[in-house]
Structure 1
Amino acid sequence: MGVQDHTINILRELEQNALKLDDSQAQNFIARIRNAKHIFLQGAGRSGIAIRAFANRLLHLGFPVSVVGEISSPHTKSGDLLIIGSGSGETASLKSLAQKAVESGVDVGLVTMKKDSSIGKLASCVLVLPGTVKTENHRQREQFSQPMGSAFEQLCFITYDAIVLELMQQLDETSETMFKRHADFE
């Protein structure tokens, strides 16, 4: 089996997982984004990379956004939204962040594979992406599965872009209007 075969298997796995997405969860998530005064985003590891890309596109759409931990992040206020990307919903640093958000009156949105996780129980909205968390790969040895949560992280990128497309439609945005908000100092 070569790289082309692996690529095709990855795309098939992602397609099967995408077919299980709950659009009502996604629409609720989008409504929370649209109503937030400020959006903070955070993830760890590869999920963190995906959520940073999402933060960038939300900025291009004109939303006030910050990646948690960046020096330019403002103080939180009631009406803000913290979006966390965590496949397991159990990452210790992200659990602590979610708890602090709740205590500060900030809504928490979670993109995860585990709705009933610790962070999921703190979240006001959860978007479940089907997949296998990195500690459960042994459960899928008999069928194709990528290692250590890769499918979740890839589906995050695709789902975040799908949310951006939906927001573009709802807000009457185009690539041209968004490009005006793209960084010009690079």
Structure 2
Amino acid sequence: MSVRTHLTGILAELTRNAALVDDAQLAAAVAEIQRANHLFLAGAGRSGVAITGFANRLMHLGKSVSLVGEITSPHSRPGDLLIIGSGSGETASLVALARKAHAGGVRIVLITMDDRSTIAGLADVCVVLPGVSPKLRAATAVTSIQPMGSAFEQISFLSYDAIILELMDALGETSETMFPRHADLE
């Protein structure tokens, strides 16, 4: 095999997985984002990397955004939204975070593979994305040529970008109107 052969296999897999995504769940997540006063985003590992990119684009849209754990994050309030990216929905630090947010009246959107997870039970909106992971408690019909949670992490990143496109349409934003919000002190 060659690297290009692997690449085309990954793209084919992601195309199949995209057909399994529930548009109504994504629309509910978009509605939560539009209503929120402030957006807090969190994830761990590679899911955390993907959600960091999402936070960046939400900021480019002019949203008030913080990554949980950053020193500049403000105090949460009811009317705020916590978006968690967690394939298993069971990462201990994220479960504790979701519990605290829930107790404080912060709404929660979970991007996950498991809608029966602990965090899913606390979430107001659960977006289930296909993938495979040794951390999943329940068997899944989805298969992957990739290791561990790669397929979930990739479809997460693509779904985040699709949400951004939907928000751009709703807000009348373009790349040109967003660019002035791009960092200049890099």
Report the TM-score, using the length of structure 2 for normalisation: 0.95
Q: Counterparts in 2 of 1:1-186, with a 5 A limit? A: 1-135=1-135, 144-186=144-186
Partner-residue secondary structure (3-state), 2:12: helix
Query: Measured at CA, do residues 18 and 94 of structure 1 come closer, stay the same or move farther in structure 2, by a change above 3 Å?
Result: same
The runs of 4+ residues in structure 1 deviating greater than 6 Å are: none
Separation (CA, whole Å) in 2 of partners of 1:102 and 1:145: 36
| AA at the equivalent of 1:151 | A
Separation (CA, whole Å) in 2 of partners of 1:161 and 1:37: 21
Contact persistence 1:95–1:118 (CA under 8 A): yes
How many percent identity over aligned positions?
59
| AA at the equivalent of 1:161 | D
| AA at the equivalent of 2:123 | A
Contact persistence 1:77–1:105 (CA under 8 A): yes
Partner-residue secondary structure (3-state), 1:180: helix
* Unpaired runs of at least 5, structure 1: none
Separation (CA, whole Å) in 2 of partners of 1:34 and 1:134: 34
| AA at the equivalent of 2:74 | P
| AA at the equivalent of 2:106 | V
Alignment length (residue pairs): 182
Shift of 1:144: 4.6
1:40-72 CA-partner distances (Å, limit 9, x unpaired): 000000000000000000000010000000000
**CA-based RMSD:** 1.3
Contact persistence 2:84–2:94 (CA under 8 A): yes
Contact persistence 2:144–2:151 (CA under 8 A): no
Contact persistence 2:132–2:144 (CA under 8 A): no
